[in-house]
A and B are shown apart, each in its own frame.
Chain A
Amino acid sequence: MDRDGLYQRQVIERARAPAHAGPLEGATGRGEGTNPMCGDRVRIGIWFDGDGRIGTVRHQARGCAICLASADMMAELAVGQDQGGAVTMGRSFAALLQTGQDGGVRPELMVFAPLRQHRSRIRCATLAWSALEAALTGTPAEDSKDG
């Protein structure tokens, strides 16, 4: 069977056993991203640490393996970022998938790069980042346009 570069072991493992899944009691920021095309949904909760940086992220993701793995990786990579840094991180990830331009995307995220070949699945990976941006900026996440 051809598994496609997309379904690397670490993606499957993350989806199956996410390290940052679950509700976050007393979260100071909450956000949601939904994809009406497929019914996927990611809800996140954030705690900030003392100096306004992201201290903890938890996600509750309902979706495919790409969606789950991406949400879990987002929850890991966003920690330590301030608002601007986290938003930029999400946007450059989306740009990588949509245009192929690698504008300083964290190397961990490159496992999702093969999504370039599956335009209809890009939204699966960016959903969690939309939810994060919604939580940080207080605006509702934009529904699936890019997917």
Chain B
Amino acid sequence: MDVPPVVMLDPIDSLRDRRADFPILGETVHGRPLVFLDSAASAQKPVQVIDAMGDAMRTQYANIHRGLHWMSERTTDAYEAVRGQVAGLIGAPAREEVIFTRNSTEAINLVAYSFGSLMRPGQAVVISEMEHHANLVPWQMLRDRTGIELRVAPITDDGDLELDALERLLADGKVALVAVTHMSNVLGTVTPARRIADIAHAAGARVLFDGSQFVVHRRVDVQAIDADFYTFTGHKLYGPTGIGVLWGRRELLDAMPPFMGGGDMISTVTFEHSTWAGLPHKFEAGTPAIIETIGLGAAISYIEAIGYEAIAAHEAALVAYALPRLAEVPGLHVVGAPAERGGVISFTMDDVHPHDIATLLDRNGIAVRAGHHCAEPLMRRLGLSATARASFALYTTREEVDALVSTLTQIRGFFV
């Protein structure tokens, strides 16, 4: 019997075949092949996800948790199976601790509202300087509603969290929750989650990680990092829009009041009074995003089949390739130099505004994001009004980085 030769691919090329799973990557923009470097805003979808959602609507769909008929029971099973998949993906000890939301933003708002309602004036929440508005504005709203204090942990010029300063912010014992990103959508910084959790816990605080970016690139184990809450959003993880996840420790979720009221989240209802359903349904009022949840399940299966090890290795190789290549572009400055970086690179260029960069790249088929990336306070901290950002996904190739670099060089030449 012939044994096929073992081909050792450079990690940067190891996922090349997977591009064929993403139909949209065959499209052209302004007559050029699409080079999609904006996956941190939202990732493209593999055919496995697209088909799973279509198949559900074609062959197996009804409302869940309420029908006594075959279709409803089957759909309920499909929906609930995804809860188990999510628990497995993030290492949650129990599937009931996984709450489906619309997105990360809603998951954080849920905690701000529900956990926040247990906080008392005089207590505080700590965030960091590099939070997405999704992990900032809900806490400002909580502060304005209940009189808690909002504290901001500084970052270094390189874009790392200042852990000493974080410790000092917690020293007076008033902090009830530390809510920080697990990976910055602007700087690419991967934060040292376990150390942050230890610092928070030592001061008697709970910790929430915004994993919106992190889960796309690395495997998270919520128990290993000792998180209390963890959030992410399906559309960045190659899944559909409209579905996100909050994971929380059972004892915390049990103690928290519901976020929204309605169907599905109750146990008994009279005109005078209602009692709440148990976890997770207490936090899932109304008909949920059934199709989208099934799509998220397909996305998780897809990622698990490829494996986070391969995804992380591919991405690390791409970043290691892209940083020196970008440095070749005259006048280009990469923003931040974090100790650990995921597949996100923000940059500015002397004499060319980020919006002009983005428009001209787009003319050449290359999609990047430009602006403040929903992190205005971070931009101010960095002394910038905007950056351009290239972000990588499992389908990103070395040639796409090359196309970015050569087009940027031409753009710069045109402006000076």
Contact = CB atoms under 8 A, between A and B. Distances in A.
A7 B415 CA distance: 10
A125 B235 CA distance: 33
B364 A38 contact: no
A7 B356 contact: yes
Interface stretch (B69-77, B299-307, B390-398, B406-414): B406-414
Contact of B371 (A4, A38, A67): A38
Contact of B359 (A62, A63, A118): A118
B415 A39 contact: no
A3 B363 contact: yes
Contact of A1 (B354, B371, B411): B411
Interface SS of chain A: loop
B371 to A, nearest CB: 5
Given A1-B364, A2-B30, A3-B360, A12 B415 contact: yes
A95 interface: no
Interface string A35-67: 001111000000000000000000000111111
B372 A39 contact: yes
B360 A66 contact: no
B352, B359, B385 interface centre (most CB from chain A within 10 Å): B359
A1 B407 contact: yes
Chain A, interface size category, equals 20 to 34
A64 B371 CA distance: 11
A16 B356 CA distance: 13
Contact of A65 (B356, B364, B376): B356
B386 interface: yes
A147 to B, nearest CB: 11
Interface in B357-416: 359-360, 363-364, 370-372, 376, 379, 385-386, 407, 410-411, 414-415
Interface of A: 1-4, 6-7, 12, 16, 37-40, 62-67, 118, 121, 124
